Chain A
Amino acid sequence: MGKTTTSASIGTGLAQRGHKTVIIDFDVGLRNLDLIMGCERRVVYDFVNVINGEANLKQTLIKDKRVDNLYILPASQTRDKDALTQEGVEKVLDELSEDFDFIVCDSPAGIERGAQMALYFADMAVVVTNPEVSSVRDSDRILGILQSKSRKAEKGEVVEEKLLLTRYNPERVEEGEMLSVEDVKEILAIELLGVIPESEAVLKASNQGSPVILDSDSNSGQAYADAVGRLFGEEIEHRFLDVEKKGFFKRLMGA
């Protein structure tokens, strides 16, 4: 669906702007973030080791080699989701927040423990959704959990919500095979942070272990960069929403 791709790209984008950022993988048992960030061979300790006091943060955090100020806290492949205790997660987040400007929590799919732990302490949530009915419904559900079961909700406060639409394909929207941006906005009624077009570049970046935002020639990379800019309050127009008009030459060649 694009949650880990998005966490990697947004985290990288924040660090590129000079903010000390850490991305935490909450998908205990699966481990994806380190692959997408291309640091899987450098994982020694993991999030669960830190929670259990078997390693400290300094030993566990992996510094990114391409972008300054960027760190990864990998998930454990050998434990299950019950290893994440609320007290343990809170302790780690408290410690991280002393050093870091931004903590990006990469949530696993679903609405179970891992996802609830990832969202519980959130100040802001970026809800990643695909332009299809089932995905949008799931996002609606997770928004409900966010506003009822998070720490802010328990205190009677509101977690800031942003919508990020990934795998958007304007041609398929035109053919009625996909929901449009407007459809999704109407169903979820939250602020749109960005629309990431469906692209080969995302797959290529994942396989190469490099967040797609670093591929600044690709539409997807640019769309993520725009989204990060909007997080800082910049007014950037949404791009890649319409079918590209084929130029004269392209039409001639039938491409």
Chain B
Amino acid sequence: MSSSEVCFQLKGSNITSIVLELKQYPSTEFLSQLQDKVSQAPQLFADSAVVISLEKFSPEHTHVDFKPLIADCFEAGLHPMAFRSVDEALLESVKTTGLPALPGAARSASVHAVEADNTPAAELLPNGDGEQVEMTLESPREEEAVEEAVTTIIETRVEIQEKLVHRPAKIIERPVRGGQQIYAEGCDLIVLAQVSEGAEVLADGNIHIYAPLRGRALAGVKGDSNARIFCQQLEAELVSVAGIFILSDELKDKAWKQAAHIQLKDERLTIAQINDK
């Protein structure tokens, strides 16, 4: 690898994990109770990472030996990765386990992606207490250590801005015959041939039919009330947008056998003739 190439990138990420909320410890029953819980849903707990929360834990002594607790967790098939909501008095006890102490659940933090290049980079990462932890990346070898620090410091709450991802429409070029069903999942449906009586076309988005529609057309089947149906010749048995439908009887006095545009307005389907002059 040439020295000018970037070896890694540090990113914030959101991880869902199981939280073990500790109430009493030490306890001779901890292991058996834990094993009992795990056995109720072995698939769910198998090898999963856990965060040990000390929010509801108020011990009699300031010094608690957490090492057997961690050993017990491993015994039960869980992998402790950090402590959370650690009271200052218990900080020393937690440190001896080697696991990091995370801030409490209510506080959130964000993190910027840290890109490492061949010059040492410094990044400021705010932690939950509002203090700032300065990290200097000396070389790619520190990758693991830094990554662990980042993942743990950021307390699972990085906001991800959702973007609308463009999904190409499903295009059908041959007639959809009686008894057939076409579903365009997560996208629009475009049909270039007729949809026969007894056929059904469905889409999560809009439906366009450039031929007679004699069967059923259901747009926005996952609840998108902005979905619409367009067809060149409306003779449908049923049209529906987001679950609200009308049958052919009612359609017959509106744009029947004409080019039509169907949409939902105030919870009602409206049918408009296209190119109505």
Which A residues lie at the B interface, using CB under 8 A? 137, 140-141, 143-145, 147-148, 158, 187, 189
Contact = CB atoms under 8 A, between A and B. Distances in A.
22 contacts: A137-B198, A140-B196, A140-B197, A140-B198, A141-B177, A141-B179, A143-B175, A144-B176, A144-B177, A144-B179, A144-B180, A144-B199, A145-B177, A145-B179, A147-B174, A147-B177, A148-B180, A158-B174, A187-B196, A187-B197, A189-B193, A189-B194
Interface of B: 174-180, 193-194, 196-199, 214
Contacts of A144: 176-180, 196, 199
B174 A140 contact: no
B175 A189 contact: yes
A116 to B, nearest CB: 13
A145 B197 CA distance: 15
A146 B176 CA distance: 12
Looking at A143, A144, A145, which has the most chain B CB atoms within 10 Å of its CB?
A144
Nearest to B179: A141
Contacts of A141: 177-179, 198
Contacts of B175: 143, 189
Given A144-B199, A187-B196, 11 more contacts: A140-B177, A140-B198, A141-B177, A141-B179, A143-B175, A143-B177, A144-B177, A145-B179, A187-B214, A189-B175, A189-B194
A137 B178 CA distance: 7
4 closest A-B pairs by beta carbon, nearest first, are A144-B177, A141-B178, A144-B180, A140-B178
A240 B214 CA distance: 30
Contacts of B197: 137, 140, 187
A79 to B, nearest CB: 28
Contacts of B196: 140, 144, 187
B119 to A, nearest CB: 55
A145 B198 CA distance: 13
A9 B179 CA distance: 30
A143 B193 CA distance: 14
Nearest to A111: B179
Contacts of A189: 175, 193-194
Nearest to B199: A144
Nearest to B197: A137
Looking at B179, B180, B197, which has the most chain A CB atoms within 10 Å of its CB?
B179
A145 to B, nearest CB: 7
Contacts of A140: 177-178, 196-198
Nearest to B180: A144
A212 to B, nearest CB: 30
B69 to A, nearest CB: 59
Contacts of B176: 144
A187 B212 CA distance: 9
A235 B190 CA distance: 35
Contacts of B178: 137, 140-141, 144
Contacts of B180: 144, 148
A158 B175 CA distance: 12
